[in-house]
Amino acid sequence: MNEELEFIFNTRHSSDYNADFYTRVANAVANDLERERAAEETGELEEDDPFEDEDDDNDVDYIPNENDASDVENDLVIEPNIEPDTDQDEDLFNSQKVSTDIFRFLRSYKS
């Protein structure tokens, strides 16, 4: 197996894969928030963003739904469904909890 395929195989079958995924998502969100904040400070926000015009009916990706939650403030909560049985599971559980705390912090940071 070549090195690239071996890396992909090991990554997908690693117990730390979920924690790594949440860490990468949290980093991406943090970077996006930082870029947005910097753009606000310098006045470089895009004025042509079709999703910022508050007219959701004209957006291509918007599908109206009677249960639409786009106007509702919800807390993003990511909790594991199982309790840890072993030390390895406990490490994964703790890393997911840290990722959840990061998401909550980032959400409050944006507000």
Encode pLDDT of 10-54 as tens digits. Answer: 555 555 556 667 777 788 888 888 888 877 777 665 555 555 556
Half-sphere CA count of 93, side-chain side, radius 13 A = 10
Encode pLDDT of 56-107 as tens digits. Answer: 555 555 555 555 555 545 555 555 555 556 666 666 666 666 666 666 667 6
State both tokens at 34: 């930082």
- 0.85 cut: is pTM over it? no
